[in-house]
Amino acid sequence: MRFILGSSSPRRKELLRELIDDFEVAKPDVDEAQLAGEDALDHVLRLSKAKASAVAHQQPAAPAGAPFVVLAADTVIIRPGSSGARTSLGKPDTPAEARETLVLLRGTPHTVATGFTLLSSDGRCVSRLVETKVCMRQYTDGEMDRYIATGDPFDKAGSYAIQDEVFRPAETVDGSYSNVVGLPLEVLRDELRAFGVPVKAA
């Protein structure tokens, strides 16, 4: 059975290798824009389903095509808005946007939510949403600007990589650390086994 990661994220590829040795990578072509009035958690889960479906439709139909399972995911940074509503922080397009986000997050807690979907060629589908609470440290303006200058924030929701060993943005992490990086390996391991996908021993 083929296993396909529906993501071009190098971080997700690295994480998945902790569970599975042999998998393919396919980039889903979906509109990632949040719908008007859509809750941030609903958005991230909907995108994981849309990405999995898009990659599944790229595959040859049975009987010509081999059986497969697709994994797709989306991660979002969420913080409480002034009115109490949840607001999501996307990927920055410019250094100014990255700085604005990092200033907003500095010294405060937020939630990292990853939605992932497993979709098989025989129609089985499961979607899960995993949340991790992160509190950022009081990094200085200089630390923040040097980190932005590396270019690292520009493909990351929330403008940071928690695993960066120089910037070290987080003070505390409550929940799955790998979820903040891009895949909640603890939950994903159980769901893969339920799908009949062999995984490495913990």
Task: Supply the mean pLDDT for the chain.
Answer: 92
Q: Which one-letter DSSP state was computed for residue 67?
A: P
Pair of tokens at residue 21: 């040795």
Q: In angstroms, rounded to a whole number, what is the distance separating the alpha carbons of residues 36 and 170?
A: 31
Closest-CA residue to 144 (of 202, 102, 83, 174):
102
Contact status, residue 39 vs residue 15, Cβ threshold 8 Å: no
pLDDT score for 111: 95
Interval 66-86 mean pLDDT:
82
Q: In angstroms, rounded to a whole number, what is the distance separating the alpha carbons of residues 152 and 20?
A: 26
Helix (H, G, I), strand (E, B) or coil at 111: strand
Indicate if the pLDDT at residue 159 is higher than 80: yes
pLDDT score for 64: 65
pLDDT tens, position by position, 49-64: 999 999 999 988 766 6
pLDDT tens, position by position, 161-199: 999 999 999 999 999 999 999 999 999 999 999 999 999
pLDDT score for 155: 87
Residue 128: which residues within 8 A CB-CB, separation 6 or more? 115, 116, 184, 187, 188, 191
pLDDT class for 84, splitting at 50, 70, 90?
A: low
pLDDT score for 5: 97
Catalytic residues: 74
pLDDT tens, position by position, 89-108: 888 999 999 999 999 999 99
